[in-house]
Amino acid sequence: MKVPCYISATGLVTPLGFSVKDNFNLLLKDISAIQKHKDGTISATSFYAAMLSEEKIDAQFQQLGNPKKFTKLEKMMLLSLGQTLASSAVKISAKTALIVATTKGNIDALEQDSSFEEKRAYLPELAKKLVAFYNFTTQPIIVSNACVSGILAVAVAKRILTTDLYDNAVIVAGDLVTKFTLSGFQSFQALSDSPCKPYSKYRNGITLGEGAASVFVSKEKPDSNAVQILGDGTSNDANHISGPSRTGEGLYRSILTAMTEAQLEANEIDFISAHGTATLYNDEMESIAFTRRRLQHVPLHSLKGVFGHTLGASGLLETVIGLEMMHQKTMLPSVGFDVVGVSKPLHILRQLQHQPIDVLLKTASGFGGCNTAVLFKKVS
């Protein structure tokens, strides 16, 4: 029942830019999207976050439609989808799935002074807007599984392409920085008081970010720039709903499952795009899980120091950057990392390196004890 499937087109909307190329060019220059913000509508005190102004989004969105008709997140997702659909040149058919990955969707529609109806906060309503805009004909599949949503959606796409329901799938992931999420993480005392520093001795929490990413997944092997989804694994820690396992059990098992399915050994993995949220417990847990899986020598980064934690979008957003690294034969550094602050030494990249990546491992972990790992391989 193995059906090879490939990612051949991507799209990205982040504070760094409105295309994968624009984003990547700034990443090459070590630029971070995290800034200090003073916005009373989101927080009474100033905070660090990677945010995208609605004016900038609207300026881009003019070419697609009327910006007033769509929420900020819908516009970001539609812009990202537009890039992916254009570069894949896919003809959307009755066998094209739309997978939407998000943690909180249009949660800002719950705010009293929102200019949109409360109804917009229902995730199916968000998906309906995307379906109608690009004329998808299948029921949208929404994955909302905390911070693994974006990468879990890739595993879901691979899985549903083995059924006779679909030939290909478009995945879009997105999340916002809102008063809702910021106040929640503040109440957990999980927010960093400076731009987050994954794996650093000086890390003290997450920095939130917002963005949208999209990919096209097909059973048909593309002519160029093909990357195959080789294996995936998802495993629950079965330990705690809001903290990671001390032994990294779920992450370890999810990587093991993905490697077993992909039939790959540790020394065949060239790069790890890790989750690295910069909380004390998460990064420590990752160092244990990667070491248990003998991946401590594999070059690794977290992109949270660049884009912040984009919640449900992060897994797909970081995958899109990972795929671009594979195409550009470039390993991007882990921004914010200085002195190692995890108990098991990992190969955390401090400097950009021009080196080929044939096999990339992407991992993510989240509330509810969830962990997901997906392996990607470049195919010629």
- C-beta contacts of 61-64 below 8 A and 24+ residues apart: 64/133
Among 39, 111, 338, 358, binds other proteins (CB under 8 A): 111
Instruction: Give residues 240-269 in contact with other proteins (rule: CB under 8 A).
Output: 240-242, 249-250, 253, 257, 261
Shortest Å distance, C-beta 55 to other proteins = 25
Q: Compare residues 198 and 369 and give the one whose CB is closer to other proteins.
A: 369
- Contact string 85-104 vs other proteins (x = CB under 8 A): ------------------xx
Beta-bridge mates of residue 297? none
Piece of 30-38, 106-114, 196-204, 320-328 that binds other proteins (CB under 8 A): 106-114
Q: Which of 65, 124, 345, 356 binds other proteins (CB under 8 A)?
A: 124
Contact call for residue 60 and other proteins (CB under 8 A) = no
DSSP assignment, residue 7?
Answer: E
Q: Which is nearer to other proteins, 84 or 145 (CB)?
A: 145
Cα separation, 237 vs 262, whole angstroms = 22
The interface mask with other proteins, positions 174-213, x = CB under 8 A, is -----xx--xxxxxx-------------------------
Identified binder of other proteins from the candidate list 35, 87, 144, 194, rule CB under 8 A: 144
Distance in angstroms (rounded) separating the CA atoms of residues 289 and 255: 9
CB 373, CB 362: distance < 8 Å: yes
Smallest gap from Cβ 249 to other proteins, in A, equals 6
Q: Which tokens go with 180?
A: 């809702």
Q: If binding is defined by CB under 8 A, does position 331 make contact with other proteins?
A: no
| CA gap 218, 67 in Å, rounded | 31
Subset of 216-245 contacting other proteins (CB under 8 A): 233-242
Instruction: Select from 290, 292, 312, 310 the least CA-distant residue to 301.
Output: 290
Structure tokens at 314: 């992060």
What residues numbered 39-58 form the site for other proteins, per CB under 8 A? 44
The pair of three-digit structure tokens given for residue 378, joined into one six-digit string? 């470049």
Q: Measure the CA–CA gap between 279 and 277, rounded to whole angstroms.
A: 6
Cβ contacts of residue 216 below 8 Å, gap of 6+?
7, 8, 9, 10, 84, 85, 87, 88, 90, 168, 169, 170
Tell me the C-alpha distance between 268 and 251, whole Å: 19
**Interface residues with other proteins (CB under 8 A)?**
1, 44, 103-105, 107, 110-112, 121-124, 127-128, 139, 141-146, 152, 156, 159-160, 162-165, 179-180, 183-188, 233-242, 249-250, 253, 257, 261, 366-370
